[in-house]
Amino acid sequence: MISNSQFRSGRSLLLALILLIGCNAQEQQEQQKEVFKLCVPHQIITACRDLMAKPDAAVQVQCIPGRDRMECLEKVNARQADFVAVDPEDMYVAYHMANQDFSVFTEFRTVEEPKAEFRYEGIILVRKSDNFKSLADLRGKKSCHTGYGRNVGYKIPITKLKKVGLFKLASDPELAPLEKELKGLSELFGSSCLVGKYSPNDEVNRLLKKRYSNLCALCERPDVCDYPDKYSGYDGAIRCLVENNGDVAFTKVIYVNKYFGLPVGEAPAQPALNPNARTEDYVYLCEDGTTRPITGPACSWAQRPWQGYMGNGDINSRFQRLQKRLQQFYETAKNSAAADQASQMWVDSKNVLFDREVPVLPGEHLNRAQYKDVIERDGPFQYKIKLCVTSELEQEKCEVMRKAAYSRDVRPEIECILKGKNACVPAVQHGEADVVVLKGEDQTFENVEGLKPILFEKYDEDDVMVAIADQGVTRDQLLKAPLEFDVSDQRAISAALFLNDKRQRKTCPNKLSSIPAAPIRIISAQELTRLGSGKVLVCPSLEFEPIANYASCNVDYTLPAGIFIRKTVSGQIEDNISHAFVSLSDKFGHGSKTEVVFDMFGEFKPGMKNVLFHDRAARFEQASNKVADVEVGNYKRLMCL
């Protein structure tokens, strides 16, 4: 007979054995799970982890943060990640990194055209009765474009027409390169509708549109020549041709089909956008000068590849299992309540994932689409901007910026020139380089003689340095209290020096100390929302105001970083350099759609702050260099320079 103690002992052993078997089974199951690492820009890492989480899936997707998509490409190439979601422009960067070791295995296609090889096809639509026999017949015609600087309506036509010798840049040496391009178009076509901003400078934009008014003559509002306009955009260009007496429209095939009521993909034809337009009256104009009916296959000049998932060579033997898991993710994410997170992960109810049976190398893909030529379009710029950098870290960031910028049509192209710490200013002075970026503390030295700033960093409106104190602090305490601030932030240091000066406590930077938990703190106004109640602002007048008044009551006293060139540089070259850096900040500055591609004003490497530019800057502007009422001489005095 078994005693109670023996029974309890036996039961304990049995339970232990069951637990051991269960743990082993779970461990074995975990080992059987296949893991793929997806690299995403740090801004969307939370969205990735939330939407990709599926613990019970046999194939797991682990989200790996990268600084931006440029670093994600490097991580995929270095096997720190397996794949990344990319634009065609990112495929171009990968093509130049290690083309044979990258491949696109899944694409984001539309529900409308899931079997279309490319996202869109750029075409030329003309009237059949005009009897085009060659591309030369385009000369003098009335042209309809989607918009200035856009792929289908501007870059592709110019790239292709220049290649066949029909479009020529104006040769006038007095004209800026961008104007040479506009003049070339103005001379090629009789009249046009080409809306958009011809220059970021409003006055230059107005003057160019007045000088080349025939480029706006066919628009709904020729005097404005900007969006919105009835004859702009993909369908607007077709309306310009059919309804506004144009001769040629540069647009996409899918919009031709919709306008004339032709089938789109495998879907049945829908009612025409213009029931009075007859398909037999219009044809596609091909590169060889022949024409094709719009009811059949188009002859496109260039195609834009779909966005897609691109991996390294290590997953080529097992990508099919990943494709199945991504399909599950995409369909689940479409129905997710977290719509913003889904959008960040490129999830769109109008799209589907298309799995390629055979992955394609990025270079082959771009060449087949003829899109590589479009990316490599130099336009009117025949030279590179030599940007001088002072360290290997700055050079590394400059090279990443150069690749991202070139792939996304920032011109002139940038060339990174590495010099010693104090050698960049002389290099620009002597013509060995064109540009140097100078932080505020470096702009006050005498060796900037012969240079001039053309652009300055601009911060977000709510990013000003403020001094805060507890309500009830006395004026005597205010005058004597130590300060707490971020000693690694030059803006915080400048603000502390400025406030001390107002308190009659003159201190040089090397004697300035930050005291933890001091009664007065120097912070960015962006942090005010995270403070508790009972705080007030300390103004330069040493008065107290509510924290809501930070715009007028702040201690920001910073000279922002500037883009400096030689004073003797011609106006054209200055305009070109300015155009390139404004384009850079438009594409990669704070809040831009493609900031995730290259985080221009963010921490470049962990712990490495303010590399080349300030981490908290938002963009470049031609406006005043003043964040607050900063006078260079007084700034130099405060900094003890």
Measured on CA atoms in the order 354, 359, 365, 368, is the torsion positive or negative?
negative
Whether pLDDT at 8 is above 90? no
In the prediction, which pLDDT does 127 show? 97
Strand partners, 478: none
Q: How far is CA 117 from CA 254, 283, 329, 354, 442, in A?
A: 13, 22, 23, 10, 53
14 burial type by CB count under 10 A (0-12 exposed, 13-18 middle, 19+ buried):
exposed
CA distance linking residue 230 with residue 242, whole number of Å: 12
Q: Are 278 and 285 in contact (CB under 8 A)?
A: no
Whether pLDDT at 40 is above 60? yes
Of the listed ranges 358-367, 454-463, 565-574, 617-626, the least confidently predicted one is: 617-626
Average pLDDT for residues 451-463, to the nearest whole number? 93
Work out the pLDDT band at 27, boundaries 50, 70, 90.
Answer: very low
Average pLDDT for residues 283-301, to the nearest whole number? 95
Average pLDDT for residues 602-626, to the nearest whole number? 85
Whether pLDDT at 420 is above 80? yes
Q: What share of the chain has pLDDT > 90, as a percent? A: 76
In the prediction, which pLDDT does 6 show? 52
Whether pLDDT at 637 is above 50? yes
Beta carbons within 8 Å of 482's beta carbon, 6+ residues apart:
513, 515, 518, 519, 520
Beta carbons within 8 Å of 10's beta carbon, 6+ residues apart:
2
Whether pLDDT at 28 is above 80? no
Of the listed ranges 265-269, 291-295, 402-406, 492-496, the least confidently predicted one is: 265-269
Strand partners, 538: 467, 544
Whether pLDDT at 169 is above 80? yes
The average confidence (pLDDT) of the chain is 91
Whether pLDDT at 337 is above 60? yes
Work out the pLDDT band at 120, boundaries 50, 70, 90.
Answer: confident
CA distance linking residue 466 with residue 458, whole number of Å: 17
Whether pLDDT at 26 is above 70? no
Measured on CA atoms in the order 593, 598, 599, 600, is the torsion positive or negative?
negative
Write out the two tokens for 228: 């919105």
CA distance linking residue 445 with residue 431, whole number of Å: 20
Whether pLDDT at 443 is above 90? no
Q: How far is CA 221 from CA 229, 243, 557, in A?
A: 7, 15, 45
In the prediction, which pLDDT does 3 show? 55
Average pLDDT for residues 18-37, to the nearest whole number? 61
Q: At 267, which amino acid appears?
A: A
DSSP track, 484-513:
E--TT-HHHHHHHHHHHHHTT----GGG--
In the prediction, which pLDDT does 45 show? 98
Cα 341 to chain centroid distance, Å, stands at 19
pLDDT tens, 238-260? 999 999 999 999 999 999 999 99
Beta carbons within 8 Å of 451's beta carbon, 6+ residues apart:
425, 428, 429, 436, 564, 565, 566, 567
Beta carbons within 8 Å of 559's beta carbon, 6+ residues apart:
439, 440, 441, 443, 444, 625, 627, 630, 632, 635
Work out the pLDDT band at 7, boundaries 50, 70, 90.
Answer: very low
Average pLDDT for residues 359-371, to the nearest whole number? 95
Q: Which residue do the tokens 């090629």 mark?
A: 188
Whether pLDDT at 174 is above 90? no
Average pLDDT for residues 375-382, to the nearest whole number? 77
Q: What share of the chain has pLDDT > 70, as a percent? A: 93
Whether pLDDT at 5 is above 70? no
Output the 3-class SS for 292-311.
EECCCCCCCCEEECCCEEEE
3-class SS of residue 447: helix
Q: Are 503 and 478 in contact (CB under 8 A)?
A: yes
Q: Are 433 and 394 in contact (CB under 8 A)?
A: no
In the prediction, which pLDDT does 173 show? 77
Of the listed ranges 105-114, 157-166, 170-179, the least confidently predicted one is: 170-179
In the prediction, which pLDDT does 445 show? 65
Average pLDDT for residues 176-199, to the nearest whole number? 93
In the prediction, which pLDDT does 625 show? 43
Q: At 476, which amino acid appears?
A: D
